[in-house]
Amino acid sequence: MLVIAAALITAIFFIGGVGEEDAAVPSQDTGPTAVQEPAGVDLTQIEDRDESDALALGPVDADVVMIVMSDFQCPYCAQWHDETLPQMMQYVEDGSLRIEFRGATVFGPASERAARAEYAAAMQGRLYDFQTALFPDGTTLSEGQLSDGGLVEVAAEIGLDTEQFEQDYTSESTLAQVAAHKEFTASLGVYSTPAFIVGGEPILGAQPSQVFLEAFDRALAAAE
């Protein structure tokens, strides 16, 4: 069933997205808001709900899980983080929503460096703060700012232990984590970001916040 679900999601995201060669030039169209869940397939099986997952916010037993697949060089991802994520955080805080972040890293080496840095910051319990620092006021940092040294500077600016950060940033476990998430998102056909699964419902693009709030409400009602 998991293979079937992955194949269906791949078709959904591939149709709604672009080829990898086009990923560095995002379309001005945010795409369709949502796609009807394929009959007979429970897309919530894609969720991890792993207590040891550093790249997640919210309890493992939350009523609803939201999977966020993004890239730190993606302007629409930055827009979503600035406009919509703060509204979703109220549900993380009340324990009804868990958000699992999966780096698609479709824009190349700078995106992979940023994803490694994100994981290193998450190891110090500062996932959300570091993400916000990489998406200042809903914008993206330059490729130069996403250099090894630039990312250490960001870590220092938000008060991380930079020595520990650098160790985690270059560790084999971090490299493996970033590679695994890239493979996961690619297996779902995510070559254009952002892409989401909210309670089993795929959503393409940085849609208006209301789209995500309504998807959460539907998933919460179904879980109760």
**Nearest-angstrom CA–CA distance, 214 and 176:** 35
Q: What residue spans define the domains of the chain?
A: 54-223
Superfamily of domain 54-223 in the CATH hierarchy: Glutaredoxin (3.40.30.10)
> Where does 34-84 have alpha helices with state H?
75-83
Whole-number Cα distances in Å, 12 to 32, 86, 102, 188: 11, 27, 18, 9
What are the φ and ψ backbone dihedral angles of 177, each rounded to 5 degrees?
Answer: -65, -45
Q: How confident is the model at residue 20 (pLDDT cuts 50, 70, 90)?
A: very low
Looking up tokens 């789209």 gives 211
Enter the pTM of the model. 0.85
Could you give the CA distance from residue 66 to residue 215 in angstroms, rounded to a whole number? 10
With residue 64 as reference, give the H or E element that holds it: strand 64-70
Q: State the number of CA atoms in the 13 A half-sphere of 121 facing the CB.
A: 26
- Give 64's strand partners: 97
Give the range among 7-16, 58-67, 81-90, 178-187 with minimum mean pLDDT. Answer: 7-16
Distances (CA, A) of 59 to 91, 92, 122, 142, 184: 11, 8, 15, 33, 22
Q: Please check the confidence at residue 109 and state whether its pLDDT lies above 50.
A: yes
Who has greater pLDDT, 224 or 160? 160
Q: 9: pLDDT confidence band, cut at 50, 70 and 90?
A: low
- 62, 77, 84: which is closest to 115 by C-alpha? 77
Stronger pLDDT, 28 or 122, i.e. the higher one:
122
Per-residue pLDDT, averaged over 178-188, amounts to 94
pLDDT (0 to 100) of residue 87: 98
Return d(Cα 197, Cα 44) in angstroms, integer.
Answer: 8
Give the contacts of 40 (CB within 8 A, at least 6 positions apart): none
| Number of other residues whose CB lies within 10 A of the CB of residue 214 | 15
Average pLDDT, the chain: 87
Question: 3-state class of 200 per DSSP?
Answer: coil
Contact 73, 146 (CB under 8 A): yes
The predicted structure's pLDDT at residue 45: 85
Please give the average per-residue pLDDT across 7-32, as a whole number: 44
Given a cut of 60, whether residue 145 has pLDDT beyond it is yes
Lowest mean pLDDT among 55-59, 74-78, 79-83, 183-187: 183-187
Give me the helix-helix angle, 109-122 and 172-187, nearest 10°.
Answer: 120
Q: How far is CA 77 from CA 81, 134, 217, in A?
A: 6, 11, 22
